[in-house]
Amino acid sequence: MSNKLMKSPIPIADFDISYSEGDGPVYSMPPEVFVDKEFYEFEMNAVWAHEWFCVGHASDIPKSGDYYTIEVGEDPLIVIRDRTGSVNVLSNVCQHRGMILLEGRGNTRRISCPLHAWVYNINGELTSAPGLTDADEKVESFNIKDVCLPKIRTEVWQGFVFITFDEDLPPLSDRLGNLGDQLGNYKIDELRASVPLKMEAFDWNWKIFNDECYHCSYLHGGSWGEMYPLCLNSTDEMVKFNDIENGLVSYNLISQHIDAAPTNTGSILQPPIDTLTDEERKQLTYVTVAPNLLIVAMPDKVKYFMWLPKGATESWYGVSWMYPESTLALESYEKNFQQEHDDLWQVMEEDLFAWKGVQKGMQSKYATRGYLTSHELVIQRLQNWLIDKYRAEEKRAGSEEKPTQHYLESILAE
């Protein structure tokens, strides 16, 4: 991330028609926000440098030394659990000459650079540097204690690991408010996935992943729609989880019967989470924690979808399904997991087809800004949150600008 302050290459006033003031329809965002390299740089500052965002779930690294690697834009990071049980997020860049330290996932007692073997402990502190710290070659001016891998500000909420590059941002709890209590019956921090989250690279902008269910009855009419019948009224967007200003954008899908789920039987294939109310067992709750986490709370599990920026037209994306330990211990677990996975495969293929198609369309000179319907409140709300970030960044960049010659002249003349 460059962190170089810049103004939006798209005139900031152009976003006004995409900003909902609650009075009538708004337009979708300019196509350039999905395509333009310079706007991507601006947005990396506006959104990703000044907000909390999710980088995975702590249950994927249960033991001391467990780690996985991710990338946020140009920044490779390591998410690692230390000896005290805390989850740390460190830069994955060697502080000698910039080599990437770790790849993939695993468990380690130390972080050793493959290039010249500088060694860091799992808290990121340098412990040895051949040629600088060896007894016979000690360099007096080099203090090993001065070198450590940059540590990114981290907070864990319900097991989700959040980071921010902004040291001055209020704590994550200020932003998430009582979402944890509202989802309390799902006991998310006690759930675990049988396979850790795997991020894959895709050729579209990260905002393409922004979720809505206007498309569910159409794109997924023959797949999801067959398994989990939907009418437009079964989507409730006025739910308690919404806190638009704080980037919590949500809706519920209400089903006709208890324990309904998009599977070939129309019901959950694993046991329900035993702390849910009957109301919770009749619905699927979708909560987007902007910019990059979608939590889907279901009667038998909590899924989450996470995405990260990779470039103007590239992103990382992964999905994880988390269950109570008692479900994971069942002999039937694996078979039912596989069955549900297979049942949803077509839905996933349809989404991939649409995401790819939208990105391709956005690159055309004929791409335009269509009206959002009243069934796309989710998108309207996410647009508002994003535009708030763009406007704030524009202001920051503006206040840093050097006074113009004309302005200087007028001061000197006084």
Considering the rule CB under 6 A, would residue 110 count as an interface residue with ligand FES?
Answer: no
Q: Which two tokens stand for residue 162?
A: 């959040």
Q: How many angstroms separate the CA atoms of 99 and 309, rounded?
A: 21
Alpha helices in 139-255, H assignment, sequence order: 172-176, 179-182, 216-219, 224-227
Nearer to ligand FES, 76 or 196 (CB): 76
Nearer to ligand FES, 18 or 95 (CB): 95
In 3D, which of 311, 297, 289, 291 has the Cα closest to residue 243?
Answer: 289
User: In DSSP terms, which residues pair with 308 in a beta bridge?
Assistant: 316
Q: Could you say which of Fe ion, ligand FES, none residue 115 binds, taking C-beta under 5 to 8 angstroms by partner kind?
A: ligand FES
Nearer to Fe ion, 210 or 383 (CB): 210
Q: How many angstroms separate the CA atoms of 28 and 128, rounded?
A: 53
Specify whether the CB–CB gap between 317 and 307 falls below 8 A: yes
Q: Could you say which of Fe ion, ligand FES, none residue 396 binds, taking C-beta under 5 to 8 angstroms by partner kind?
A: none
Considering the rule CB under 6 A, would residue 115 count as an interface residue with ligand FES?
Answer: yes
Nearer to ligand FES, 1 or 119 (CB): 119
Footprint of ligand FES on 64-103 (CB under 6 A) = 94, 96-99
Strand 110-112 and strand 119-121: the pairing is antiparallel
Minimum separation from the CB atom of position 114 to ligand FES (A)? 8
Minimum separation from the CB atom of position 351 to Fe ion (A)? 4
* CB-closest chain residue to Fe ion: 351
Minimum separation from the CB atom of position 149 to ligand FES (A)? 11
Give the one residue of 60, 351, 376, 393 binding Fe ion; rule: CB under 5 A. 351
C-alpha pair distances (Å), 158 with each of 45, 89, 287, 340: 27, 17, 14, 25
Q: Strand 126-128's sheet: what is its strand order?
A: 110-112, 119-121, 126-128
The mark string for 391-410 relative to Fe ion (x by CB under 5 A, - otherwise) is --------------------
CB-based contacts of 87: which residues, under 8 Å, 6+ apart? 58, 61, 79, 80, 81, 154, 156, 161
Give the one residue of 42, 48, 67, 118 binding ligand FES; rule: CB under 6 A. 118
Range in contact with ligand FES (rule: CB under 6 A) among 2-10, 108-116, 316-324, 373-381: 108-116
Number of residues that bind ligand FES (CB under 6 A): 9
The mark string for 380-399 relative to ligand FES (x by CB under 6 A, - otherwise) is --------------------
> How crowded is the C-beta side of 177, counted as CA atoms within 13 Å?
12
Minimum separation from the CB atom of position 220 to Fe ion (A)? 6
Q: Could you say which of Fe ion, ligand FES, none residue 97 binds, taking C-beta under 5 to 8 angstroms by partner kind?
A: ligand FES
Give strand ranges (E) for 95-157. 105-107, 110-112, 119-121, 126-128, 151-157
Nearer to ligand FES, 39 or 118 (CB): 118
Specify whether the CB–CB gap between 291 and 48 falls below 8 A: yes
Q: How many angstroms separate the CA atoms of 88 and 401, rounded?
A: 36
Question: For residue 192, what is the enclosing H or E element?
Answer: strand 192-193
Minimum separation from the CB atom of position 39 to ligand FES (A)? 33
Considering the rule CB under 6 A, would residue 116 count as an interface residue with ligand FES?
Answer: yes
Question: Which residues in this chain contact ligand FES in the complex, by CB under 6 A?
Answer: 94, 96-99, 113, 115-116, 118
Q: Which residues bind Fe ion (CB under 5 A)?
A: 351
